[in-house]
Amino acid sequence: MDRVGVSLSGGQFKDLQSLSSKHVAFSLTEACPLACRHCIVSTTAVSDKSCYLPIDEAREYASQLPGLRSRGVRFVSFTGGEPLLAARQLQVLSDAASDCGMNSTVVTACHWADNPESALRRIRSFPGIQNWFLSTDIYHLEFVPADNVVR
C-alpha of 128 from chain center: 13
Q: State the DSSP string of 43-102.
A: -B-TT-GGGBPPHHHHHHHHHHHHHHHHTT--EEEEESS-GGGSHHHHHHHHHHHHHTT-
Coil, strand or helix: which one is 12?
A: helix
Residue 149 exposed, middle or buried by CB count within 10 Å (0-12, 13-18, 19+): middle
CB 108 within 8 A of CB 85: no
pTM for the predicted model, two decimal places: 0.84
List b or e across 4-41, with b for residues whose CB sees 16 or more CB atoms inside 10 angstroms.
eeeeeeeeeeeeeeeeeeeebebebbbbbbbebeeeee
Residues of the chain with pLDDT under 70: 1-5, 40
pLDDT value for 3 = 61
| Edge-to-edge order in the sheet of strand 23-27 | 23-27, 75-79, 103-108, 131-134
Q: Give the pLDDT confidence score for residue 20 in this predicted structure.
A: 74
Structure confidence by residue, pLDDT tens digits, 99-142? 999 999 999 999 999 999 999 999 999 999 999 998 888 888 88
The residue type found at 64 is Q
